[in-house]
Amino acid sequence: MVADKRIFIGDRLRYIPMGYFNKNNIGTITGIVTTTLGDVEGAAPVALVNMIGGFFNSIVLILFLLCFNWQLGLVAFTWVLCYLLITETATRKSISVTEKHQLAQRNLVEAVLEYIQGMGIVKSFGFEQDSPKSVATAIRDSSKGNLKLVHSVAPFIALQQLVVRIFRVLMLMLSIYLFTAGTFSLAWGVLFVIAGNRHGVPRGYLVRTAGLCDGV
């Protein structure tokens, strides 16, 4: 997909009028073809596979728990719902700062291209000391944009992990309670206790119940 998009952009650039670059910056196009599409190329396949696998695992496990015991299934369903709500909020928050992040990246590419293209003129007129200042400023702005993007979603990541741990404890306590109440046998009780324990044999069982923790 990314390769086709790069080829598409390259083919379109062959036929655009020369006046196009008077209104549009070459740094923007270069940034999209390199940095932006590179981010998509690296993140999209992993996110797609983990999201699809996470949703399928969630649906199957919740249906199994609902058929086996409606209390466990209800807790698992509430768990997934809470996690998805936090994820949606984090996505909306990150979108609000993504434009500034992309702008900082485009400015960085533009500054580097201008520095490289004008290097001969800079040396000819002796402006070597002043020329790198624009590049350094663009690097600082790009760094601030990256940090702002990380800081915008970091609290939600911590909240996601908190939700995972809280519902893990709830599942563990509910499994013990249902076993002591005689709802299911010792074998099933031990299985759910182990599954609810982070260090148990089926490690990550309840994380997979939430469905998206590993992927997102």
Residue 129: pLDDT over 60:
no
Judge whether 65 lies within some domain.
yes
DSSP state string for the chain:
-HHHHHHHHHHHHHHS-TTHHHHS-HHHHHHIIIIIHHHHHHHHHHHHHHHHHHHHHHHHHHHHHHHH-HHHHHHHHHHHHHHHHHHHHHHHHHHHHHHHHHHHHHHHHHHHHHHHHTHHHHHHHT-TTTTHHHHHHHHHHHHHHHHHHHHHHHHHHHHHHHHHHHHHHHHHHHHHHHHHTTSS-HHHHHHHHHHHSTTSSSTTHHHHHHSSTTT-
How much of the chain, in percent, has pLDDT values that exceed 90?
2
Q: What is the average pLDDT score of the chain?
A: 75
Rg (CA), the chain: 26
Give residue-wise pLDDT tens across range 158-204: 898 898 888 888 888 888 888 888 887 777 877 777 766 644 333 34
Nearest to 194 by CA among 213, 214, 215, 168: 168
- Reported as a pLDDT band with limits 50, 70 and 90, residue 209 is very low
Give residue-wise pLDDT tens across range 18-46: 777 666 667 677 777 777 788 788 888 88
Number of structural domains found in the chain: 1
Judge whether 44 lies within some domain.
yes
Judge whether 94 lies within some domain.
yes
Judge whether 22 lies within some domain.
yes
The pLDDT, as a whole number, for residue 216 is 36
**Residue 81 structural domain:** 2-102+153-210
Q: Which residue has the higher pLDDT, 133 or 148?
A: 148
Judge whether 148 lies within some domain.
no
Judge whether 138 lies within some domain.
no
The pLDDT, as a whole number, for residue 205 is 37
The pLDDT, as a whole number, for residue 25 is 67
Residue 17: pLDDT over 60:
yes
Judge whether 97 lies within some domain.
yes
Give residue-wise pLDDT tens across range 64-95: 888 888 888 898 889 889 988 988 888 888 77
The pLDDT, as a whole number, for residue 118 is 64
Give residue-wise pLDDT tens across range 42-51: 888 888 888 8
Judge whether 107 lies within some domain.
no
